[in-house]
């Protein structure tokens, strides 16, 4: 049995989800405390909360929430206040643009092939929730891609590529098969899952528990023992 060199963490997320942004930071804060952090491979998986959402640059997320939930604007503000206070991240729901996230997911898929998936996620979250940018706008996505070192032409091609579109759909199909109905959703070592923006301690515990299992499963199971020689030169 060949031992895997890193343990995998898959995270299903959507850029429109404030708790995905919060959960990302809480997970990363836990990961920084984990003694084996350099042996963890994080993969961001695509999940669209509303695949049919029409981009509406003139409408804020706050107004859209009030209209879609048929509640008052004051109630919508109350619902979003908790998320804004949950972390040090600045979440501006009045500024955030109602935007379809499919193209943003294609950009993330490209970024992951270049080793900058987490950076792409962070920049897209900030663009959406803090800077009030339209994350369905190709010029905006191209600027973000260039900022994190991606090639402009390759990025443009990726936004129109069937290859990256299929990668997004494959992630979403995997989510459906696993019964994932909400994000963020963290899967550790293909064995343990954490749902939602949990406290750092929860993520740290999940990392340690899954790491213990990862180390154990990397060791072969001895079915029979016979005569052998040890590293100290003793043979029996």
Q: In this structure, what token pair is assigned to residue 31?
A: 């990961």
Domain chopping of the chain, boundaries: 7-217
The contacts of residue 75 (CB under 8 Å, 6+ apart) are: 66, 69
* Position 197 pLDDT exceeds 60: yes
pLDDT at position 168 is 98
As a whole-number percent, the residues of the chain with pLDDT over 90 amount to: 69
- What is d(CA 135, CA 87) in angstroms, rounded to the nearest whole number? 22
pLDDT digits (tens, 9 = 90+) for 76-103: 777 666 655 656 788 888 889 999 999 9
User: Residue 177: which pLDDT band, with cuts at 50, 70 and 90?
Assistant: very high
The answer to whether 124 and 97 have CB atoms below 8 angstroms apart is no
For residue 223, say if its preceding peptide bond is cis, omega within 30 degrees of 0: no
Higher pLDDT: 88 or 231? It is 88
pLDDT at position 69 is 75
pLDDT at position 219 is 63
pLDDT at position 82 is 62
Q: Angle of helix 18-33 relative to helix 117-129, nearest 10 degrees?
A: 140
pLDDT at position 2 is 42
- Level-2 CATH architecture, domain 7-217: 3-Layer(aba) Sandwich (3.40)
pLDDT at position 93 is 85
Question: Averaged over 126-144, what is the pLDDT?
Answer: 96
pLDDT at position 4 is 67
* Position 123 pLDDT exceeds 90: yes
Higher pLDDT: 203 or 90? It is 203
* Position 1 pLDDT exceeds 60: no
Q: Work out the angle at residue 29's Cα, subtended by the Cα atoms of residues 204 and 180, and round it to the nearest 5 degrees.
A: 65
Question: Averaged over 150-157, what is the pLDDT?
Answer: 97
pTM passes above 0.75: yes
pLDDT digits (tens, 9 = 90+) for 11-69: 999 999 988 999 999 999 999 999 999 999 999 999 999 999 999 998 888 888 788 77
């Amino acid at each position: 049995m060949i031992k895997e060199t890193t343990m995998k963490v898959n995270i299903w997320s959507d850029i429109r989800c404030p708790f995905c942004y919060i959960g990302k930071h809480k997970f990363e804060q836990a990961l920084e405390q984990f003694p084996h952090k350099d042996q963890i491979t994080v993969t961001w998986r695509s999940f669209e909360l509303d695949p049919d959402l029409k981009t509406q640059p003139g409408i804020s997320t706050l107004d859209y929430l009030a209209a879609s939930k048929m509640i008052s604007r004051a109630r919508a503000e109350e619902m979003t206040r908790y998320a804004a206070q949950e972390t040090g991240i600045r979440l501006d729901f009045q500024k955030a643009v109602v935007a379809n996230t499919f193209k943003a997911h294609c950009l993330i898929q490209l970024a992951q092939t270049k080793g900058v998936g987490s950076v792409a996620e962070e920049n897209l979250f900030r663009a959406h929730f803090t800077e009030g940018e339209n994350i369905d706008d190709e010029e905006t996505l191209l600027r973000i891609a260039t900022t994190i070192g991606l090639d402009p032409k390759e990025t443009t091609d990726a936004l129109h590529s069937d290859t990256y579109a299929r990668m997004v759909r494959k992630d979403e199909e995997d989510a459906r098969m696993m019964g994932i109905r909400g994000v963020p959703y963290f899967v550790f070592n293909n064995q343990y899952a954490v749902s939602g923006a949990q406290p750092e301690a929860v993520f740290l515990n999940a990392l340690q528990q899954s790491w213990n299992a990862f180390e154990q499963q990397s060791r072969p199971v001895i079915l029979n023992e016979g005569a052998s020689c040890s590293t100290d030169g003793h043979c029996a």
